[in-house]
């Protein structure tokens, strides 16, 4: 995988806290699998990187918040350069 070209993505984390549901978009670059990267971010979203995936709930628990993996979309490097002014790069 070291020879694979680094690609740019927008990732989404979905969060449910009681009745409230919201999502957060962020940017990232990786040579690896973007979906695995998104899971890594979701697992540590609320400072609990040891959280186990709950298949029944479809996400990672952090206190009473359910953090789940949203979508991943590849974007051109030129878009990444512009969007990093507005979104977090993780």
Within 10 angstroms of residue 29's Cβ, the number of other Cβ atoms is: 14
Delimit the domains of the chain by residue range: 7-83
CA dist., res. 69 & res. 14, Å (int): 6
pLDDT over threshold 60, residue 1 = no
CB 30 within 8 Å of CB 7:
yes
The 10s digit of each residue's pLDDT in 20-55 is 999 999 999 999 999 999 999 998 887 666 778 899
The 10s digit of each residue's pLDDT in 52-80 is 889 999 999 888 889 999 999 999 999 99
CA dist., res. 35 & res. 73, Å (int): 10
Distances (CA, A) of 44 to 1, 11, 50: 24, 14, 8
pLDDT over threshold 80, residue 8 = yes
pLDDT of residue 44: 86
């Amino acid at each position: 995988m070291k020879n694979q070209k680094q690609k740019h993505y927008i990732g989404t984390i979905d969060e449910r806290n009681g009745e409230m549901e919201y999502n957060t978009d962020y940017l990232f670059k990786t040579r690896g699998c973007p979906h695995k990267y998104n899971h890594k971010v979701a697992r540590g979203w609320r400072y609990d990187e040891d959280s186990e995936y709950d298949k029944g709930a479809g996400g990672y628990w952090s206190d009473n918040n359910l953090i789940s993996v949203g979508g991943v979309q590849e974007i051109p490097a030129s878009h990444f350069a512009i969007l990093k002014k507005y979104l977090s790069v993780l």
